[in-house]
């Protein structure tokens, strides 16, 4: 049986230092300083936010799903999860979460995976991998596809079957649900607001997300 861990935040929007809406299919990249908190808000509900994290002091050291899962002994992410890099460095900690469960196994959609999973005519469709690369190239031209690691899919429901397979189900989020994470070390956050139309992760209707940042309390 699924267990969801709902923890609300006491932070007020009016005290934030940053507030931006990211449209469906668009990308975003930003550096969090230690102590800063990022809230990702699922504005209309059931919208996956594919997210990568990099050590801002060593961008080659990116988020590790394997290290994070092994450290917490749980394949799903929620309040209390510390996201670790490949080197084991602590990047951010989830400090509030009204959705209660997030995926880090399903990966990001790409032109290649769309054609394999769905049909060849999906090849030109907008996808998260291309959005990731566009944002990385704007930030630093030294980034290449090799810098794309397994990502986090906030607000996305990917149950594991008894045989070990993955199922892309309807989301478990709702309008206004959010997740907050506090930076432990300087961290680059890269988001693709998923444009996927071929499975129910976005309820077949991609919508905006809202990003809010607070300085340390």
Identify the residue with better confidence: 107 or 75: 75
**Average pLDDT for residues 109-131, to the nearest whole number?**
62
DSSP state letter for 108: -
pLDDT at 1: 37
Nearest to 158 by CA among 149, 147, 169, 148: 169
pLDDT at 105: 85
Distance CA(170)–CA(53), nearest Å, equals 25
What's the pTM? 0.90
**pLDDT above 70 (res 21):** yes
pLDDT at 101: 86
- Percentage of the chain exceeding pLDDT 90: 57
Distance CA(162)–CA(33), nearest Å, equals 40
**pLDDT above 90 (res 141):** no
**Average pLDDT for residues 13-41, to the nearest whole number?**
97
Count the Cβ atoms, other than its own, within 10 Å of residue 139. Answer: 16
Q: Which residues are 214's β-sheet partners?
A: 37
Distance CA(200)–CA(46), nearest Å, equals 9
What confidence tens digit (pLDDT) does each residue in 41-74 have?
Answer: 999 998 999 999 999 999 899 999 999 999 999 9
pLDDT at 160: 78
Q: Which residues are 211's β-sheet partners?
A: 20, 40
**pLDDT above 80 (res 118):** no
């Amino acid at each position: 049986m699924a267990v969801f861990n709902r923890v609300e935040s006491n932070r007020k929007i009016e005290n934030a230092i940053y507030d931006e809406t990211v449209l469906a299919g668009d990308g975003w990249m930003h550096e969090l300083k230690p102590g800063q908190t990022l809230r990702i808000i699922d504005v209309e509900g059931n919208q996956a936010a594919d997210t990568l994290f990099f050590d801002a002091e060593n961008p080659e050291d990116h988020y590790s799903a394997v290290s994070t899962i092994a450290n917490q002994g749980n394949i799903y992410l929620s309040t209390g999860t510390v996201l670790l890099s490949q080197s084991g460095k602590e990047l951010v900690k989830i400090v509030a979460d009204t959705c209660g469960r997030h995926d880090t196994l399903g990966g990001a959609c790409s032109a290649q995976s769309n054609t394999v999973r769905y049909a060849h005519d999906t090849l030109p469709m907008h996808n998260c991998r291309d959005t990731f690369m566009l944002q990385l190239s704007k930030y630093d031209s030294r980034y290449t596809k090799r810098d794309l690691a397994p990502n986090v899919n906030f607000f996305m429901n990917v149950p594991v079957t008894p045989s070990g397979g993955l199922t892309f189900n309807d989301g478990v989020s709702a309008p206004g649900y959010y997740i907050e994470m506090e930076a432990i070390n300087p961290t680059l956050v890269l988001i693709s607001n998923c444009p996927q139309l071929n499975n129910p992760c976005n309820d077949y209707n991609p919508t905006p997300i809202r990003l809010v940042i607070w300085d340390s309390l």
